[in-house]
Amino acid sequence: MPEHRTTGRFAVVTGGSEGLGLAIAAALARDGADLILVARNRDKLETAAKELGRHGTVVHTVPADLSAPDAPARIAAHVGNLTDRLDTLVNNVGTAHFASLADTTVDEMNTMWHLNVQVPLLLSRQLLPALVNARGSIINISSYWARKMVAGRHSAAYSATRGALNSMTRALASELGPQGVRVNAIAPGAVRTPQYERSYLAPMTAEERTAHDAQIEHSYPLGRLGTPEDVATAAAYLASAQWTTGTILTVDGGLTIR
Ligand X SMILES: NC(=O)c1ccc[n+]([C@@H]2O[C@H](COP(=O)([O-])OP(=O)(O)OC[C@H]3O[C@@H](n4cnc5c(N)ncnc54)[C@H](OP(=O)(O)O)[C@@H]3O)[C@@H](O)[C@H]2O)c1
Contacts of 31 (CB under 8 A, 6+ apart): 236, 239, 240
> Do the beta carbons of residue 192 and residue 139 sit within 8 Å?
no
For ligand X, the binding residue among 24, 28, 29, 44 (CB under 6 A) is 44
39: contact with ligand X by CB under 6 A: yes
* Nearest residue to 23 (alpha-carbon basis) of 62, 3, 56, 51: 51
Q: How far is the CB of 85 from ligand X (least distance, A)?
A: 23
* Nearest residue to 88 (alpha-carbon basis) of 122, 117, 123, 119: 123
Q: Measure the CA–CA gap between 113 and 195, rounded to whole angstroms.
A: 20
41, amino acid identity: N
Binding mask 77-116 for ligand X (x = CB under 6 A): ---------------xxx-x--------------------
35, containing H or E segment: strand 34-39
| Ranges within 4-23 binding ligand X (CB under 6 A) | 15, 17-21
| Ranges within 117-146 binding ligand X (CB under 6 A) | 141, 143
Catalytic member of 158, 196, 200, 237: 158
190: contact with ligand X by CB under 6 A: yes
For ligand X, the binding residue among 41, 100, 174, 210 (CB under 6 A) is 41
Active site residue 158: yes
| Ranges within 148-177 binding ligand X (CB under 6 A) | none
| 192 exposure class (CB count in 10 Å sphere: 0-12, 13-18, 19+) | middle
Q: What is the contact surface with ligand X in residues (CB under 6 A)?
A: 15, 17-21, 38-41, 44, 65-67, 92-94, 96, 141, 143, 188, 190-191, 193, 195-196
Residues with a catalytic annotation lie at 158
